[in-house]
Chain A
Amino acid sequence: MYQLRGVTKQYRRDKATVDALVDVDLTIGDGDRLVIQGPTGGGKSTLLQMLGGLDRPTSGSIELDGVDLAKLPEARLTTFRAESIGFVFQSFNLIPTLNAQENVETALVPLRLKAAERRERAAQALESVGLGERLGHLPSEMSGGQQQRVAIARALVKNPKVLLADEPTGNLDESMRDEIMDVLETLWKEHGLTFVMVTHDSSIARRAPRIATIRKGRITLTENSKAV
């Protein structure tokens, strides 16, 4: 369970400071699904970084199961990311020179598995997103939707506790959006993940039970009674 208290993040650019997050309080239960919305530059990505341990808040605490990520030493934060967090990025962020299977394997590298097991699990993960036939393909040889599915396989291959997705359909055209959303939703249900997703897509948002809106670093929460 996530417990955020008074999380503030300021970026210093030259002499000006930008308040990306201002005094955010938020609780996300295990297995919950939270959709984050808001205008560009509002602070959505910044919040996701805080949740995923990619960066530290300027002040406040981010507890996951009682452990404050804000105070965790760098090495432990790295291990935490490797073991517990799955990321899906808007621009896929696949390694362009590695094929699909090798890209998925990169998520298992910090876990020190044997090479054979790593390959096996990567293949299984790709199978589960419908890319069992594409293990040897390079990102450049795949469509945007396929690339994002590789990225999803990479995020989930380690069986993380939390899945964080930052506008996962933002770079995709309409036909692929639903495909990706279906994959994510299925996997969320299968794995019992805590799932936090930033999206501009209101049709997706409408299906979420809880919506957080961030404007100028401030958060407002809406319960969605019409959630599916």
Chain B
Amino acid sequence: MFFTYLRRELRRRRKAALVVASGLALGIALVIVVNSVSAGMNQAQDKVLQSLYGLGTDMTVTKAATAPKAGEGGRPRFEFGAKDDGKEQSSDRVMVQGFQTLAASTVDKVASQKGVADAVGGLSLQVMKVDGQFKRGQFKQDPGSGGATRQGGPGGEPRGRVEGGGASFDVNSYSVYGTDVTKAGLGPRTSSKITEGRAFKTSEADAKVAVADASYAKEKKLALGDSVKIKGVTYEVVGIATPDSGDAAADLYLPLKQAQTLAGAKGKITTVYVKATDSQQISAVKRGIQKNISGTTVTTSADLADTVSGSLSTASNLAANVGRWLSIAVLVAAFLVAGLLTSSAVSRRVREFGTLKALGWKSGRVTRQVVGEAVVNGLVGGALGIAVGLAGAYAVTAISPTLTAQLGSGAGGGGGRGPGVVMGGPGISQAAGKSLDIALSAPVSATTITLAVGLAVAGGLIAGGFGGWRASRLRPADALRRVE
């Protein structure tokens, strides 16, 4: 009888059921869209962070910020002898990015910390290349007063001037990352895929080979097998790497030892890339490293995410705050409306339920009937809401609006791609001024669907609770009430 009665009620009071269901559907659809857009935002942020750190990096360890000491680092200087007249000259200045280094032994210290699954060191360099030539000025005689003067006029000075002296130089800068060839699975290089050639072999710890970023290679017209010269050392390009998203971590990748030699930083690294054993324990691991290894700064993805600005961050804040509150508000409203509508439906059926009680139906049975109806309404609303929500999330993914992410403290004054090296804090020096375009998607997870179904059932139960409570308080004598 329970199901017969339930079926009959829902079929013959379709409109009322639909009103309750659509209210719930709206709330649930909103939750799905907001949740999946939020998930899309997180994915986008992860992509941004990945492009800096590489896959699977949970945090980086760098030297704690200190004022640069005199004589260390400092501004680049170039020295050219002006002796070789008219000859093309070239000079490379290789600098450690951020001018702060750690001893390579830090990697092992970090790796031995509790909660650290793996750690790898890397050296980020900035190379400034200056190409150009000097020309010595040429003396030109005044044609009018030529030899005649010289001959005729004693003491006559030769007249003329130096012309055409000067210099023309081309300055350009690119980034080099020295990577640990024995640990290919961690670090910034993993944010790019080898699209041509090959990656470093583990045997190439000190080999004169390089992997070039695809867009850098294109700009410099570098192909596989070509050579690049840095500070007089020639490297063979063995691979071309294309970033998975956004910008590459570096223009050129070299074996770590080579990079150290170039920079005159033997046994030094700029950053340790750390993978934690448990992604839930990251802040504890961070605290451990900072406590046990003095003079280091640990930067987690979360720390870095705080430095993300631009439309991505605006949108993600919007989704996290406005979206969440809006969906909660709509849900609460939907639950309330569903509850009140169910309750008022019970009021309109006072005589019906009173009659059933007069016929000897227990209160619980009547209540169960009311709750059953409400739960089915909730499920119908849930199904409707999931359909609408999925359609909404699909639409967002189909349109995939582009968001821009700016990384670094307050856009970092003009960006770090020009000849100038941006000197941010060491922790985020790499990130400073980086800007990425990322297409937003709204992936719907099983968790979101489960949440939606849960909300639908909850909505039905809340509505049923209102109605059932009302129904349970009806007296059998209400069956005799005259007024509807």
Contact = CB atoms under 8 A, between A and B. Distances in A.
Interface of A: 45, 48-49, 52, 54-55, 75, 78-83, 85, 87, 89-91, 93, 95-98, 102, 105-107, 109-110, 115, 118, 154, 166
A78 B356 CA distance: 11
A86 to B, nearest CB: 9
Interface residues of B, number: 26
Given A49-B477, A54-B477, A54-B479, A109 B358 contact: no
Contacts of A97: 5, 8-9, 11-13
Given A93-B479, A102-B1, A107-B359, 8 more contacts: A48-B480, A75-B362, A78-B357, A83-B360, A91-B482, A93-B351, A95-B5, A154-B359
A97 B361 CA distance: 17
Contact of B4 (A81, A102, A107): A102
B480 A109 contact: no
Interface in B354-370: 355-363, 365
Contacts of A75: 362
A82 B482 contact: no
A79 B360 contact: yes
Contacts of A109: 1, 359, 361, 365
A219 to B, nearest CB: 19
A82 B359 contact: yes
Given A49-B480, A102-B4, A95 B352 contact: yes
Interface in B468-484: 475-477, 479-480, 482
A104 to B, nearest CB: 10
7 contacts: A52-B358, A78-B363, A82-B361, A87-B359, A95-B352, A97-B12, A118-B1
Given A45-B480, A54-B477, A78 B355 contact: no
Contacts of B365: 109-110
A106 B369 CA distance: 13
Interface of B: 1, 4-5, 8-9, 11-13, 351-352, 355-363, 365, 475-477, 479-480, 482
B360 to A, nearest CB: 2
A54 B476 contact: yes
Contact of A110 (B9, B355, B362): B362
Contacts of A115: 1
A166 B480 contact: yes
A96 B12 CA distance: 9
B1 to A, nearest CB: 5
A166 B477 CA distance: 12
B479 A55 contact: no
Contact of B8 (A52, A85, A91, A98): A98
A81 B1 contact: no
Contacts of B1: 102, 105-106, 109, 115, 118
A80 B358 CA distance: 10
B461 to A, nearest CB: 23
B270 to A, nearest CB: 76
B361 A55 contact: no
A228 B356 CA distance: 35
Contacts of A154: 359
Contacts of B359: 81-82, 87, 106-107, 109-110, 154
Nearest to A84: B360
B8 A81 contact: no
B480 A110 contact: no
Contact of A87 (B5, B12, B479): B479
Contacts of A95: 5, 352, 355-356
Nearest to B352: A95
B484 to A, nearest CB: 9
Given A95-B352, A97-B13, A102-B4, A110 B360 contact: yes
